[in-house]
Each structure stands twice: as structure tokens, then as C-alpha cells.
């Protein structure tokens, strides 16, 4: 890695990047700031800001309550139809609403109640903590003796499929996993895991938060049952933008949303009588959706669809490979471990590097080096690469700065303790 590690080589890669033009669709006001945390919060598409301004000034400000009839009511469904194209679903199988965790809660309860004779829930240690918490809470809430089986991870990085096969059986009600793991970026084989769960008669619920918008996903061909996902990472929907949920069409009428609200009710504005589920995916709605935050989601989804997920994935793989190459040449000798899978098919669009001083190094990157990665305990510095706007030059420069932090011991002035965020 002498020639390959040069800035000229990075520039050459950018020069022949077929997606390079997409970067101009995002606000990048400070090119020296190396933003590599798109897997926590994607950059702002210019069109998202414009759309929210329209929602403020034209819709809320001028159309007032008429905004509901003029698009707000159908916004979540319309966006769901677009996100469906990112995940191999039908347009009427996806809807944008609530937070990922609330959506998970709804679907986990619905799934368990659809398998009343079964008492096991299978997940893995790589799943996002909030997903684990939802499962723990639902077990406690239902009080029916469900048991949570957490398949351990090898070195905290991967979960071999054989480990899942070993525990999924005819007592398994639900298999629920993150498609791409938040910390290591390990990617499950969605179709194979779905098939092994189905073979045992279990329902599968995928959390697509760390994969949607970063790679092709085909829930339809896999026959997956349920999914949720986040819109503020690779879909660039804005801070805390509402999540989406997916329910396979033939399951929609067989599952019951446990939170009965007016937006999920049949004939919402006929206030006579009791709750009854609305048609199709609508029954999984609950209350009034946050319109401004929902409106911001569309622009990023449009850009993903325009770029195409095959192209996005090709660039993502090239960029994570490139970063891993620089790690190997410059950072492994300095004590950094690669905490993401080496094999591209099982790796998402971020790379985790571990270091015993990871927390302080992360802080030095942010405060001294104008690099914004993310940190995940205990020692992972995550570099999120978003093919729509991340350049090879940025990756090159970020790894140079990371090397400089450790070589010059810039991190040693910071305390070893974690700062409280709130």
C-alpha cells in the first residue's frame, strides 16, 4: 500500500466513480470536515430541506388543515411505496410511521400472538440493543413464559448461520435479527435465514436499519414475513425521521396491531363503534404522524432509487475494501483491529476499527482532526460510508488523520472515561 495508499490513487478512484455526481445533491458546506457517520445520521439532501420549507410555508402556513386531504394523510403510504422498491417489496406492503422501536414492538407482539403454541424467540448478540430491549419487554408484558435465545457472536463480529440452525426449532415463534449489524456491519444472508426459520414454522422479522439504502434487499423473493427499518441512516431522511414497517401482504389481515389507534382503524373518521383494523398495511398505524419529519424522508429515498442499489452496493464494497486496505497498511501495525467481516458479501457499508484507546482516539478525531466517525462500546470506532456522497479522498484523508492521532499521541490528553451525552 504505497501507490494504492496515495492521495492521487484516491482521487483517481473518485474520478471514475459513476455515482460521483450525487454528492452535489447534498449539503456539504465544509469539505475539510470528514463526515463518516452516515450510518448514524445521513447528510441532508438539498431537496429534503426544500421539501420541508414547502411543507412549512405552503402547506402548514397557507393550506392549514387542508394539508391533510392534500397529501399528509397518504404521505406514509406513498413513501412506503417508494421504500418498497429499495427492499424488494410490493408498494402496499410498506408504510412509514412511528419510531423503529415502536414499530418493532407492534410487529413482535403481533408475531408472537400469531404463533400461540410456541414460546421461543431467537435473536443474536449482534442485534441492536433497542431490539433486544423490545423483546425483553414484550416477554415481560405478555407474561406467557416466552424465552429469548440470543445466539452469541464469534469475536463480536459474525454469527455463523449454523448457530442459528442449531437453535431454531418447532418451538420457535419468531426469529428476529438485524440484517446488517450496527457494530460490526456483519450481514446475514437474508434469504437463507428466512428459509431456515420458515422450515421450522417460525415467523421472521428483519431489522433493516443498517442495510436499507446501502445494498439491494429482496424481501419478496426471500418470502420474508416482517421487517422494520430506519430512514435516517443510508436513506438520509433527517434526525429521528420516522421508521418504516413491512408486512407481507398475505400476513396483513392475519396479524393484529397491539396498539389500537384511530389512524389504524377502518373508516377512521366514522367515530361510531369500536376499533376494527383498517385495510391492509394501514392497520399497523396508530396515531397522527409527525408530518414535518415524514416529509423530509422522500428526497433521500428518491436519490437512492435514482442511483440504483446495485451501483450503490458496488461503490460501498469498493469503499469498505479501500478503507480496510488502508487499515491493513497503516493502522493494524499501530494496534487497531478490524472489527468488521473481511469478506465483502457479509459486510455492510460501515467498517469498525477497534483499539484499546478507542474512546480517546475517537474524541481526538472529532476535536482535533475534524473527522466525525461514531463510537460504539466497548472500543469500536465506526466509519460509515455512504456511496451517494462519501468520496475515496475523504476515506484516505480520514485514515491519514487517524494514523496521525495515534502516532502523535493526540488522544492521550483526553480522559479515559466516557462523557455523558445528555
Site residues for a copy of itself, window 100-159 (CB under 8 A)? Answer: 100-102, 105, 109, 128-130, 132-134, 136-137, 140-141
Residue selected from 13, 67, 176, 330 as contacting a copy of itself according to rule CB under 8 A = 67
Residue 372 bridge partners (DSSP): 35
Is position 414 an interface residue for a copy of itself (rule: CB under 8 A)? no
Q: How many residues bind a copy of itself (CB under 8 A)?
A: 85
Q: Under a CB-based contact definition with an 8 Å cutoff, are residues 226 and 107 in contact?
A: yes
CB nearer to a copy of itself: give 94 or 197: 94
Consecutive H or E run containing 191: helix 190-199
Nearest distance in Å: CB 273, a copy of itself = 9
Residue selected from 88, 289, 341, 387 as contacting a copy of itself according to rule CB under 8 A = 289
Residue selected from 3, 116, 250, 271 as contacting a copy of itself according to rule CB under 8 A = 271
CB nearer to a copy of itself: give 262 or 414: 262
Is position 167 an interface residue for a copy of itself (rule: CB under 8 A)? no
Which of 186, 232, 336, 392 is flagged as catalytic? 232
Nearest distance in Å: CB 213, a copy of itself = 16
Q: Under a CB-based contact definition with an 8 Å cutoff, are residues 339 and 380 in contact?
A: yes
Nearest distance in Å: CB 180, a copy of itself = 16
**128 has catalytic annotation:** yes
Query: Measured between alpha carbons, how far is 370 from 360 in angstroms, rounded to an integer?
Result: 14
Instruction: Find, among 151, 176, 289, 294, the residue nearest to 227 by Cα.
Output: 176
Nearest distance in Å: CB 361, a copy of itself = 17
Query: Measured between alpha carbons, how far is 182 from 179 in angstroms, rounded to an integer?
Result: 9
Site string for a copy of itself, 21-50 (x = CB under 8 A): ------x-xx----x-x--xx-xx---xx-
Nearest distance in Å: CB 275, a copy of itself = 4
Q: Which region, judged by CB under 8 A, interacts with a copy of itself, from 87-95, 163-171, 212-220, 284-292? A: 284-292
Is position 223 an interface residue for a copy of itself (rule: CB under 8 A)? no
**265 has catalytic annotation:** no
Which of 51, 283, 360, 382 is flagged as catalytic? 382
Instruction: Find, among 10, 299, 363, the residue nearest to 371 by Cα.
Output: 363
**382 has catalytic annotation:** yes
Q: In what order do the strands lie in the sheet with 203-207?
A: 94-96, 244-247, 226-229, 203-207, 172-178, 120-124, 147-151
Residue 96 bridge partners (DSSP): 244
How many other β-carbons are positioned within 10 Å of the β-carbon of residue 116? 9
Which of 26, 128, 246, 375 is flagged as catalytic? 128
Residue selected from 173, 187, 241, 388 as contacting a copy of itself according to rule CB under 8 A = 241
Q: Under a CB-based contact definition with an 8 Å cutoff, are residues 237 and 48 in contact?
A: yes
Spell out the SS3 assignment of 257-293: CCCCCHHHECCCCCCCCCCCECCHHHHHCCCCCCHHH
CB nearer to a copy of itself: give 165 or 268: 268
Q: Under a CB-based contact definition with an 8 Å cutoff, are residues 349 and 215 in contact?
A: yes
Nearest distance in Å: CB 365, a copy of itself = 13
Instruction: Find, among 111, 74, 117, the residue nearest to 92 by Cα.
Output: 74
Residue selected from 9, 14, 47, 73 as contacting a copy of itself according to rule CB under 8 A = 73
Q: Which residues are known catalytic residues? A: 128, 207, 232-233, 382
Amino acid at each position: 500500500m504505497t501507490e494504492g495508499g496515495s492521495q492521487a490513487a484516491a482521487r483517481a478512484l473518485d474520478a471514475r466513480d459513476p455515482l460521483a455526481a450525487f454528492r452535489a445533491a447534498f449539503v456539504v458546506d465544509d469539505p475539510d470536515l470528514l463526515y463518516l457517520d452516515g450510518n448514524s445520521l445521513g447528510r441532508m439532501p438539498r431537496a429534503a430541506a426544500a421539501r420541508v420549507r414547502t411543507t412549512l410555508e405552503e402547506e402548514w402556513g397557507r393550506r392549514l388543515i387542508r394539508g391533510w386531504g392534500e397529501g399528509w394523510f397518504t404521505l406514509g403510504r406513498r413513501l412506503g411505496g417508494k421504500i418498497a422498491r429499495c427492499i424488494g417489496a410490493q408498494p402496499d406492503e410498506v408504510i412509514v410511521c412511528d419510531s423503529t422501536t415502536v414499530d418493532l414492538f407492534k410487529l413482535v407482539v403481533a408475531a408472537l400472538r400469531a404463533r400461540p403454541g410456541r414460546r421461543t424467540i431467537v435473536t443474536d448478540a449482534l442485534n441492536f440493543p433497542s431490539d433486544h430491549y423490545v423483546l425483553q419487554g414484550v416477554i415481560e408484558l405478555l407474561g406467557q413464559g416466552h424465552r429469548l435465545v440470543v445466539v452469541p457472536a464469534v469475536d463480536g463480529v459474525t454469527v455463523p448461520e449454523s448457530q442459528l440452525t442449531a437453535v431454531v426449532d418447532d418451538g420457535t415463534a419468531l426469529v428476529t435479527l438485524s440484517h446488517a449489524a450496527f457494530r460490526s456491519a456483519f450481514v446475514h444472508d437474508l434469504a437463507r435465514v428466512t428459509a431456515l426459520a420458515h422450515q421450522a414454522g417460525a415467523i421472521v422479522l428483519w431489522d433493516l436499519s443498517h442495510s436499507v439504502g446501502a445494498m439491494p434487499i429482496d424481501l419478496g423473493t426471500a418470502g420474508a414475513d416482517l421487517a422494520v427499518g430506519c430512514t435516517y441512516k443510508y436513506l438520509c431522511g433527517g434526525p429521528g425521521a420516522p421508521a418504516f414497517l413491512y408486512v407481507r401482504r398475505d400476513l396483513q389481515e392475519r396479524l393484529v396491531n397491539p396498539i389500537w389507534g384511530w389512524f389504524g382503524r377502518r373508516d377512521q373518521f366514522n367515530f361510531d363503534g369500536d376499533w376494527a383494523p383498517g385495510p391492509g398495511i394501514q392497520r399497523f398505524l396508530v396515531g397522527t404522524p409527525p408530518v414535518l419529519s415524514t416529509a423530509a424522508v422522500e428526497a433521500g429515498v428518491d436519490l437512492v432509487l435514482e442511483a440504483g442499489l446495485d451501483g450503490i452496493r458496488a461503490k460501498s464494497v469498493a469503499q469498505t475494501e479501500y478503507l480496510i486496505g488502508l487499515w491493513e497498511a497503516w493502522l493494524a501495525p499501530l494496534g487497531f483491529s478490524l472489527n468488521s467481516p473481511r469478506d465483502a458479501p457479509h459486510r455492510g457499508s460501515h467498517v469498525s476499527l477497534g483499539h484499546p484507546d478507542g474512546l480517546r482516539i475517537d474524541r481526538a478525531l472529532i476535536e482535533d482532526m475534524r473527522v466525525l466517525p461514531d463510537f460504539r462500546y466497548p472500543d469500536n470506532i465506526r466509519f460509515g460510508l455512504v456511496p451517494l456522497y462519501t468520496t475515496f479522498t475523504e476515506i484516505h484523508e480520514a485514515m491519514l488523520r487517524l494514523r496521525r492521532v495515534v502516532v502523535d499521541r493526540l488522544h492521550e490528553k483526553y480522559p479515559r472515561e466516557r462523557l455523558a451525552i445528555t
